[in-house]
Structure 1
């Protein structure tokens, strides 16, 4: 174990349409933009930041590997703990967000629902069920 690791500071998502991604994270999630330029927009989610980076700007960050294109399959799931999954799902639907699945009670003691942002990045909201 690397003891210097303590928390996730920034998650970088490679996006096709920066304006659409920024609108999703500010409009649906209600996040504030803390930095932006022509290549990226950074929003804050609690103590973490999400860097929305135009896909064409990403190769230098991941060389020698390549950046996958949109629609090549799910590669990650980001989970946000909430107090009321059903309430959050109702709010998501008011913003035109369609759920992939849920809300559903999982055998591991969580109620979850999943959805995607405009670039297909999958997010999940999860609440701990009582008694767990």
Structure 2
């Protein structure tokens, strides 16, 4: 989604094309390598910093803003007990709502890949420090 609007709807509205979306997805998938390359110049910090500022402003000014965020899920999207990237509403109460959107099969598969990566990271961390829960 973009600002809560499903990508297929953006295409139908003429706000984007499938080709542009495919290019964004491809760049996002390879973004880790791009970020590592940018670390040499220090510019890789801008995007995460901008996201952090947007979240802080939403919290401090009670903006009730819809943002993508790693949030603790408790039943949403059929998951429990994990921090995963989901759309949330951030206001003075912090993450005030996790917004569940309908995912098509491709999006469900991509989301599951992300969830599995989080689970693998947790297993690796517990292997380093067994006291982690």
Q: Please confirm whether the aligned pair reaches a TM-score higher than 0.5, indicating the same fold.
A: no
Q: Give 1 or 2: higher helix fraction.
A: 2
State the TM-score, normalized to the length of structure 2. 0.24
Q: Give 1 or 2: higher strand fraction.
A: 1
- The one of the two structures with greater contact order (alpha-carbon pairs below 8 A, sep at least 6) is 1
